[in-house]
Each structure stands twice: as structure tokens, then as C-alpha cells.
Amino acid sequence: MNNTSLFGFVLAALVVLLIPGPGVLYVVTRSLIQGRRAGLISVLGLSAGALIHVAAATLGLSAILLTSATAFGIVKALGVFYLIYLGFRTLLARHPTSDITAPKPDSLYRIFADGVMVSVLNPKIAVFFLAFLPQFVVPDQGTIPHQFLLLGLLYVALAICTDGAYALFASSIGRLINRQLMLGALPKYASGFIYLGLGVSLALADRKG
């Protein structure tokens, strides 16, 4: 790829990534409630899921989601179900009766796995890659699949940086919040309803917007 196309892609990708979306909301929630490590692990989970979308776009499989309403609907339904499940799992989790004991945090493995699933089961990401990446492909500068792969990997690398910045900022804010707020039931209900909100947002999504 030529330098002009690559530079234009980086600028456009940063604009997209810096605008808060569902992924950022997920990262910020984890960071506020469980701290910096949990926030960064959630970033890695989302990025791992995005890599699967990059591979699918490179192989042309994502085009099925763009052209088939049935395939898009199935993946979207799975994503909605998983987010709703996460929401109710969080809301219905047993909460300690002691006012000075913090709720048991999710394991880092669970946080990573949830991030992967949230990303993989969002068909909007696949459609986004198919709509966004081709605008920066230069046919006479190499094979299209290779350029798709390069741009996809670069996008994920940029996402790790921007989402990581959100995680660090949110975790810093979390440390400043009154400790008693973080020990009560507020974090559980906040994260539970955020998951449900993400599920509703995905349920309302279509292939075009």
C-alpha cells in the first residue's frame, strides 16, 4: 500500500475508534468496577474477537452477513442473547450481606472470554469491516486479501491503543470514587443494566446502520 492510503486509513480509523461505542462502554464499565487490570483484559478480549472478524473479512465470509438477512439475523440473535444473559447473570448474582465486603469480582479469564464473545457475536463489526476497509484498498498495490488483512490488523492494533487509553482513564476515575459506592450493590446493578442496554442496542441494529 502507498503511504497516502495508509496515512488516510490511520486517521479515519482513529476518528472512528475515539468515538465511544458499545466496546468502549464495555471497557469503561469493567475498568470502573474492577480496576485497570480488568479493563485492559477486557480490551484484549474485544480485540481477540475483532481478529476473528478480520480473518472472516479477509476470507470473504463476512460478505454473507452483508448479503444474507437470515445469516445476519442469526448472529445478531446470538449476540443479543449473550448480552442479555450477561446482564441477568450479573443482576442475579448473590451479593454479600456485609457492608464492608466487596462483591466477588469476575475472574480475568471470564472478563477476557466475555469480551471475545461480545465482539464475535456482534455482526455490526463484520459489516463495518466490509464497508470501511475497501475504501482504503489500492488494487495496483498488491492483492486485495493481503491488504484487507494488513488494514484489519492495523485497525485492531489502533483499537488496543485507544481502548487501552479509555481503560486507564476509567480505572483512574474509579480509584477516586468513594470506596463505599464500590463495595455496595451499585456496581452490580450498573454493569448488569449496561449489559442489558448493549443487548437492546444490538437488537435494534440492522445491516445498513
- Do residues 119 and 49 lie in contact, with contact meaning Cβ atoms separated by under 8 Å? yes
Closest residue by Cα to residue 207 from 68, 23, 55: 68
**Residue spans of alpha helices (H) in 94-178:** 108-120, 123-132, 144-176
Structural domain spans, the chain: 24-203
- Average pLDDT in the 6-10 region? 83
- Average pLDDT in the 144-153 region? 84
Using the predicted structure, report yes or no on whether residue 40 has a pLDDT greater than 90.
Answer: yes
Distance CA 140, CA 74 (A): 37
pLDDT at 102: 43
Q: Which three cell numbers stand for residue 122?
A: 456482534
pLDDT at 98: 41
Torsion of CA 42, 43, 49, 52, to 10 degrees: -160
* Higher per-residue pLDDT: 102 or 72: 72
Confidence class for position 195, pLDDT limits 50, 70, 90: low
Torsion of CA 140, 143, 149, 155, to 10 degrees: 10
